[in-house]
Structure 1
Amino acid sequence: MANDIDIFSLEPSKISRDLKGKYLLLYGAPKVGKTSFAVQAPRALICAFEMGTNALAGTRFVPMLKWTDFKKVVSQLRKPQAREMYDTIVIDTVSIAFDLCNKYICQREGVDSIRDVAWGQGWGMLKQEFQEAFREITMLGFGLIFIAHAKEKPTEARDSEGNSISAMAPDLTSSAYTIVNSIVDLIGYISVEYDTNGGSERYLYTRQTPTIFAGSRYKYLAPKIKFGYQELVDAIGDAIEQSVSKDGAEVTDHTVINQVKSRPFAEIMEEAKNIWGKYLDVASTEEEKDQHLNVMRDIIRRVFGSEDFKLSTAVPSQADLVELFVDEVKDLM
C-alpha cells in the first residue's frame, strides 16, 4: 500500500454529519433490528458471519463460512472498484468473526487450541490477525458497523440493599471487545420498551448507565435515541451542531477520507528497479556511482535489516518495505 504523506498540505480535520466513514458497535437481543439498521447505511456490504439477512430485500451480502473468506473480502476491498460500490462494511456478527479468526490461527499453527501455540504466542497472533483486518478496512476509507448480541453481565455496582447489579453488554470476549472498542466511535445498546397498553418502542442507548454498557466519542450526543438509521444520523447531526456552537468545531456535510492507495506488487517492483537505475545514472563519475551504490545499500540495510538483501528477491508480503526504499531514494534525487 502506498500512502502519500505530506505534512505540509494538511488541513484541520472536520466533523461530518453523515455516518459514512464512521465506526459503530450495535448490540441487542436477537431480531431486535440490528441488521435491518445496518443495511440502511448507504452502499453497505454485509459480511454475514451468520445468516440474518435472508429476509432483507435489496442487500448486498456475502456469507462468511471461515476467516479466509473474510480475508478474501479485505483483499478485494483494496481494489478501486470496491470504493465505487461500497461505503460501509457490516460485520454480522462480530463474535462469530472472532471465533473464526481463532480457528484460523489454530489451523495455521497446527494446534487444537490457541493456548497450545508455542511460547504462549497464540493470543498475540489472534489479536494481531483480528485487529489488522479491521484496521486495514478503516484505512482504505470504509465505514464499519459491528453487530453483536447482548449478554447480561455482573458488575461491581450494588443496589441499595447491597445486591450485585447486572448490566447489558456486548456478548464478546474481553480480547475481541478491546479491539473493537479501540476502533469504534459509538457503542450503542438497542432496547425494546413497552408502555402500559402493551405497545413497544425501540431505543438506542449511547451512554453508560448502571444497567447498560454504552459510550460515544460525540460529546453532545443524546443518551437515548429512538432507534432508527435516520434518527441516529439526525442525533449525531444535532450533537455536531452543539460541538460547533460550544466548542468551535468545524463541520462538513460529508465525510472526507484520505484513502490509502493500493497498487500491484509488480508495479512497485518495476518502480524500484527504475529508481535504482536512475540514481546510478545521475552519477557523473565512477567514484560518485560507487557512492550512490553504497547509499542505496545502506537504505536496504536499514529497511530490510541486512545489507546483503537483494531487492530483486523481495516478495509481495514485503511490498511496504520496497515502497519505503523507493521513497527514500526519491528523496535523494
Structure 2
Amino acid sequence: MTTPTFDIFNPQISVVAKGLEGKVITVYGSNNLGKTKQASRMKKPLYLPLEKGLNAIAGIPFMAINNWSDFKKVNKQLQKNADKAKEVYQTIIVDSLDAFAKYATRYVCNRYGVERLKEGNEGFGLWTEYATEVWEEVDKLISIGFTVIFIAHAEEDKEGKKSPKGDKRTLAPIIDNSDIVVYLQSNGVDEDNNVIKSSGYLAETDEYFARSRFDYIDTYIEEYTAENLENAITVAIERQEQAEGIEAVTYEEQKESQASEELNYEKLMAEIKSVGGQLHKADKLDEIQEIADKYIEKGAKITDCTKNQVEIMAVILDELKDLLADIEE
C-alpha cells in the first residue's frame, strides 16, 4: 500500500465501508438480556471473557482473560498474525468493560509498585499512565480490521439516565471510537413465561445513552439478534449510497484512504542526511543546530536520533526542507 504525503491541496477523500469489517460496536444493558449470547452469534467470533459470560453458552472459541497481561498477549498475537487471524476470526468480543478497567488499573499499579493509582508518581497519581495504557491497547485492537464488540453493564446517573458502566478513562477511547452504541432493554416474558428477546435502541433519549454514526440506520431493533444488528448496519449503508449517490468500498480501501505518510526511520534518516548535506554546503550549520535544539536535547546532533524518535525526526526534516527551499528561492 502506498501511503500519501501531506499536502493540504491534495487531500484524501473520505469513504464509507460496506459490511461489519472494521466496525466497533458497544452493547450494554442489565443482566440476562442476550448481550453475550448475541455477540457470540456474530460471524467467526473470538470471545475474550473478562468475566464468566460463557457459563451457559457452548461451542464458542475463547481466550480466558484473567489479567491485563493476558489481554495484551492476545492483542499482540492478533497484531502480529493479523492476516492469519482474519482468516479464522471476524468478530472479537470483549466482555465486560467493568473488569477491563479493573485489570488495567491493577496492571498499572503493579508496574509502578503501588496499591492504588493515586499513590503513584510521588502522590500526583498515575491517571495519565493508566489512560494511556488503556488507549494504546484499545487503539491496537480496533485498528486491525475485525468487528470489535465491547460489552458493558448499565448504570444510572442521578437523573436516572442509563449509560455504559465503567471507569470514564476506560470508556472514553471505547465509546468515542464506537460506530454504534446499543442499549438493550428487557421485554419480559410471554404468557407462557418464555423470555421475549430484548429490544435494541441506537439513538439517545432522555432515558438512556445510545448512538450511531450512520444517519440512515433504524434506531430501534425490536428483536435484538446478531442477524438483525448486522442487517440494520448493512441496510443503513445501502440507504446512504442511494440517498447521497456514493459507492461504499471495502474496509481495506477505506483503511488505505485514511492512511498517513509512513514514518520509516531509515528513510527519514537518509533524507535528513541528504538535505542536511545540502544545507552544510550552503554554510547553514548554525541554522541546522537551531532547528535541532528546538526538538531534541540542546547541542545534540540530529543524526543521533533513535528509532523511537521518528515523529520528531519527521518534524525536523520538514523544517530542514523549508530552510533549503528558502535558500533556493
Q: State TM-score, norm by structure 1.
A: 0.74
The aligned counterpart of 2:59 is 57
Task: Find 1:127's aligned residue among 125, 131, 144.
Answer: 131
CA contact (8 A) 1:168 1:211 kept: yes
SS in structure 2 at match of 1:62 = coil
Deviation of 1:78 after TM superposition, in Å, equals: 3.8
Q: Cα deviation per residue 1:248-279 (whole Å; 9 max; x = unaligned)?
A: 2624163322376999x9xx554455445555
CA contact (8 A) 2:22 2:144 kept: no
Q: Cα deviation per residue 1:307-331 (whole Å; 9 max; x = unaligned)?
A: 41564462x5445445666777789
CA contact (8 A) 2:26 2:181 kept: yes
How far apart are the structure 2 equivalents of 1:235 and 1:303?
49
Letter in 2 for 1:195: D
The aligned counterpart of 1:163 is none
Query: Map of 1:297-308 to 2, 5 A cutoff?
Result: 297=289, 300-308=292-300
Residues 73 and 279 of structure 1, relative CA distance in 2, 3 Å threshold: farther
CA contact (8 A) 1:140 1:261 kept: no
How far apart are the structure 1 equivalents of 2:163 and 2:3?
37
Q: Cα deviation per residue 1:44-69 (whole Å; 9 max; x = unaligned)?
A: 4433323434644252x322222233
Gaps in structure 1 of 5+ consecutive residues: 157-165
Letter in 1 for 2:107: Y
Task: Find 1:190's aligned residue among 184, 194, 214.
Answer: 184
Mapped pair 1:234 → 2:231: yes
Task: Find 1:171's aligned residue among 165, 170, 176.
Answer: 165
CA contact (8 A) 2:47 2:60 kept: no
How far apart are the structure 2 equivalents of 1:295 and 1:83?
46
Mapped pair 1:220 → 2:216: yes
SS in structure 1 at match of 2:255 = coil
Q: Identity of paired residues, percent? A: 24
The aligned counterpart of 1:288 is 281
How far apart are the structure 2 equivalents of 1:56 and 1:187?
26
CA contact (8 A) 2:305 2:313 kept: no
The aligned counterpart of 1:257 is 255
SS in structure 2 at match of 1:148 = strand
Residues 249 and 167 of structure 1, relative CA distance in 2, 3 Å threshold: farther
How far apart are the structure 1 equivalents of 2:149 and 2:137?
14
How far apart are the structure 1 equivalents of 2:27 and 2:311?
34
Gaps in structure 2 of 5+ consecutive residues: none
Query: Map of 1:315-326 to 2, 5 A cutoff?
Result: 317-322=308-313
Letter in 2 for 1:208: E
CA contact (8 A) 1:95 1:176 kept: no
How far apart are the structure 2 equivalents of 1:137 and 1:5?
26
Query: Map of 1:131-170 to 2, 5 A cutoff?
Result: 131-151=135-155, 153-156=156-159, 166-170=160-164
SS in structure 2 at match of 1:201 = coil
Q: Cα deviation per residue 1:4-23 (whole Å; 9 max; x = unaligned)?
A: 54456655323334111111
Deviation of 1:231 after TM superposition, in Å, equals: 0.9
Q: Cα deviation per residue 1:272-315 (whole Å; 9 max; x = unaligned)?
A: 5544555567x5xx961864x6676555444435441564462x
